[in-house]
A and B are shown apart, each in its own frame.
Chain A
Amino acid sequence: MSARLISLQGLSKSFQGNDAVKFVDLTIDKGEFFGILGPSGCGKTTLLKMIAGLEEPSAGRIIIDGLDMDAVPANRRPVNTVFQSYAIFPHMSLEDNISYGLKLKGIGSGNLKKRVSDMLDVVELTGLERRWPDQLSGGQLQRVALARALIMQPKVVLLDEPLAALDAKLRETMKYELVKIQKEIGITFIMVTHDQQEALSMMDKIAVMNEGRIQQVDQPNLLYEKPKNLFVANFIGSANCLMGRVTKVKKGRAYIMLADLNQEIVAFSYENFKVSDDVQVIIRPEKLTFQDIELPSNHEKTINRLNGELLEIVYHGGVSTFRVGFKNKNLKPLIISQLNNHDQTKDGYRIGSNVEVCWRLDAATLVPVI
């Protein structure tokens, strides 16, 4: 209970008839690196701005550390933001930028200098107090923005796509730096991003958002392994999806007749699926393998198998992806991803050959059809 820092209840925002955020309920714990992940236009930035107080909710409540933020304007919330464009004041030096918030609070200048230089150490910009924004690179500006927010010692730091404007190499470095700083200082971070790689690698918990609604909130591995719907499955990593109908449910296993294929497969059922429910079977590409795996003795009960034709092989260096198509053209080809093994490449698979695709029972996730 005491770990809960932020609670969003029924938060909504409409702009002139356009619903940007629809009834969002979220809980964020102290010290968490929390992520809000979603495609462009899904409402994630609006959500962030509401927490910061820069947008008025149309409905709902925001509670930070037990206090309802309704009557609290942005400039008095215990929240600070790192903006997407960094928003560094161009007419102030680094020092003045970073100490701006503290100066507004009335902190004396002697104290200020020490705190600024300490913060510059934290973000690894030591000694650059006197520089001007136009003399700094993108990566440095981002760290200034971070320092400016951290120095206020807020309860929460909000980050709006902080890595979007950086080049690939810098992004990798900053990913690591941000996580390191967050863990060192221990302040709760809420970061908005559209990049699922960032989310998976940096965050403790992620809320996936689409069209104004939260689709799923979970730890990264659970989002990946157990997506709750097709959107999440496709947004995080890639996913194969087979449509089918439940024919039998027994001992936590669901027997599913696949549409378009007229074949029955078995999967574990964690939701309460009933007979004749329509389901989508979601399998990650790396969980599918070809026929030549070691089949355990009771494989009938633990392996699903499908036959198809090998359409395409794409070499990616460490990994290769295979596309296996079916006679029924309604079915999208399955994508299989395998590590490239020196031995295996020698044998090679031939395009056009008949192959058998297998997966273990627990490799698939069942998702209801909406």
Chain B
Amino acid sequence: MLFGKFISAIKSSLRNPWLNISLLVTLLFLYTPIIVLIIFSFNDSRRNIVWKGFTLKYYKKMFSNEILLEAFLNSIAIALITTILSLVLGVLTAILLWRFQFPLKSLYQGIIMIPIIVPEICIGIAFLVFFNWIGWPSDLIWPLRLAKIIFAHSLFCFPFVAIVIRAKLVSLNRECEEAAKDLGANAWHVYRDVWFPHLKPSLIAGGFLAFTLSLDDFVITFFTSGPETITLPIKIYSMVRFSVTPEVNAASTVLIVVTILSVCTAIFFQKENLKKGSFE
């Protein structure tokens, strides 16, 4: 029913059919492979080339695959810690660039952009080489052994968070801070009553951004992980390379669902905040 409304909405603006066709075709192009993948996760066929029947057994297989579950746990743990680190570093960086003047500031700004600009493979091997050079121990217990990956992820995530927060800082009405002081607030009150509420939506957005970037990362993780620190994308990669059963589809589908849910939550959150009156 929603789909019908959707089609009619497009039809109602059908003044230029070619444009709308191109839009539809593009959407189809983007989603068909994914939908096919999801459908084939229910395929009752080991080699998963032709549709043979509906089954949930590969999902069962996936959920009992210990390595896969460990990989999933690792990914979540890494993403959570990375998010916290990225938020802290990102907020500090954003405030640093927004509030303070110091020599070589533009150079600093350029350096912050490096993790975003440089191809992931270069950053990945840079970490590989670095940790090898300083002789990072490879037999730590969990979760310490995830540290390498966490450090790497935090490095390329926090500039994104900094950008998101910096954008919001710019819209901060300086006079609100002055008004608070004028009414008797000290520095701590200013943080609690002016800055934090203003930044909250962007902190959430930044956090989601960092979480998703970390969860999905492949290339950098590829070079910083080892046999004892498998993450979900790495595990799926090895499954894709060696044994393409519907189990891969099942794992992928789960990851897709998690991603879509978190993105939708983030958007929902943004809308809520807009309703409550973010007064920019």
Contacts and interface: CB of A to CB of B under 8 A. Distances in A.
B52 interface: no
Interface stretch (B27-35, B181-189, B210-218): B181-189
Interface string A127-168: 000001111000000000000110010000000000000000
A75 B181 contact: yes
Contacts of B183: 75, 80, 100-101, 104, 148, 152
B200 to A, nearest CB: 8
B277 interface: yes
B278 interface: yes
Interface in B193-215: 193-194, 197-198
A176 interface: no
B182 A54 contact: yes
A87 B277 contact: no
Interface residues of B, number: 22
Contacts of A135: 277
A96 to B, nearest CB: 10
Given A85-B173, A85-B175, A87-B173, A74 B279 contact: no
B186 to A, nearest CB: 6
Given A87-B176, A89-B193, A91-B198, A75 B186 contact: yes
A134 B175 contact: no
Interface in B254-280: 276-280
Interface in B157-183: 173, 175-176, 178-183
A316 interface: no
A80 B182 contact: yes
Given A83-B175, A87-B175, A89-B176, A54 B181 contact: yes
B185 A91 contact: no
A83 B279 contact: no
Contacts of B186: 75
Contact of A84 (B175, B194, B198): B175
Contact of B182 (A52, A85, A88, A91): A52
A105 interface: yes
A188 interface: no
A152 B194 CA distance: 19
A299 interface: no
A348 interface: no
A101 B189 CA distance: 11
In this complex, the member of B179, B186, B193 whose beta carbon has the largest number of chain A beta carbons within 10 angstroms is: B179
A100 B177 CA distance: 13
A279 to B, nearest CB: 45
B277 A75 contact: no
A54 B198 CA distance: 21
A161 to B, nearest CB: 12
A76 B184 contact: yes
A81 interface: yes
A300 to B, nearest CB: 60
B182 A75 contact: yes
Interface string A297-319: 00000000000000000000000
A135 B181 CA distance: 25
A53 B189 CA distance: 17
A103 to B, nearest CB: 9
A321 B279 CA distance: 46
Contacts of B185: 75, 104
A53 B182 CA distance: 8
B193 A100 contact: yes
Given A90-B278, A132-B277, A83 B178 contact: yes
B182 A79 contact: yes
A104 B184 contact: yes
Contacts of B180: 89, 100
A192 to B, nearest CB: 14
Contacts of A101: 183-184
B189 A104 contact: yes
A74 B194 contact: no
A84 B175 CA distance: 8
A95 to B, nearest CB: 14
A73 to B, nearest CB: 8
B110 to A, nearest CB: 25
Contacts of B194: 89
Contacts of B276: 91, 132
B188 to A, nearest CB: 11
Nearest to B177: A87
Given A90-B277, A91-B198, A91-B276, A81 B184 contact: no
Contacts of B279: 88, 90-91, 133-134
A149 B175 CA distance: 14
Nearest to A101: B183
Residue with the highest number of chain A CB atoms closer than 10 Å, among B175, B182, B185, B198: B182
A84 B176 CA distance: 11
Contacts of A85: 173, 175
Nearest to B183: A101
Given A75-B186, A101-B184, A105-B184, A83 B179 contact: yes
Interface string A335-357: 00000000000000000000000
Nearest to B278: A90
Interface of A: 49, 52-54, 73-76, 79-81, 83-85, 87-91, 100-101, 104-105, 132-135, 148-149, 152
Interface of B: 173, 175-176, 178-186, 189, 193-194, 197-198, 276-280
12 contacts: A54-B182, A76-B184, A81-B182, A83-B175, A85-B173, A87-B176, A89-B193, A89-B194, A90-B176, A90-B197, A91-B276, A104-B183
Top 4 closest A-B pairs, CB basis? A90-B279, A101-B183, A134-B277, A87-B175
Given A133-B277, A152-B183, 5 more contacts: A85-B173, A90-B176, A90-B277, A100-B193, A104-B189
